[in-house]
Amino acid sequence: MDAQPRLTLTSVTVTAPAPRELARFYARLLGREVTAEEFARAGEPPEAGWAQIRGGDGPTLNFEYEAQWTEPRWPSRPGGQHATQHLDIYVDELEAAVRHAVDAGARLAEFQPQHDVRVLFDPAGHPFCLFT
What average pLDDT does the segment 6-16 reach? Answer: 93
Residue range 72-102, pLDDT digits in tens = 988 887 877 777 789 999 999 999 999 999 9
The DSSP output letter for 4 is P
Which among 16, 43, 8, 30 is positioned nearest to 123, based on CA atoms?
Answer: 16
What are the domain boundaries of the chain? 10-68, 83-132
* Domain 10-68 identical in fold to domain 83-132: no
pLDDT at 33: 95
Residues ≥6 apart with Cβ < 8 Å to 84:
72
Give ∠ CA 53-106-15 in degrees, rounded to 5.
Answer: 50
Has residue 58 got a pLDDT over 90?
A: no
pTM: predicted TM-score of the whole model, two decimal places: 0.91
Give the pLDDT confidence of 33-46 residue by residue, as tens digits.
999 999 999 999 99
Architecture category of domain 10-68 in CATH: 2-Layer Sandwich (3.30)
Domain 83-132 in CATH 1.10.10.10? The answer is no
Residue 1 clears pLDDT 90, i.e. is over it: no
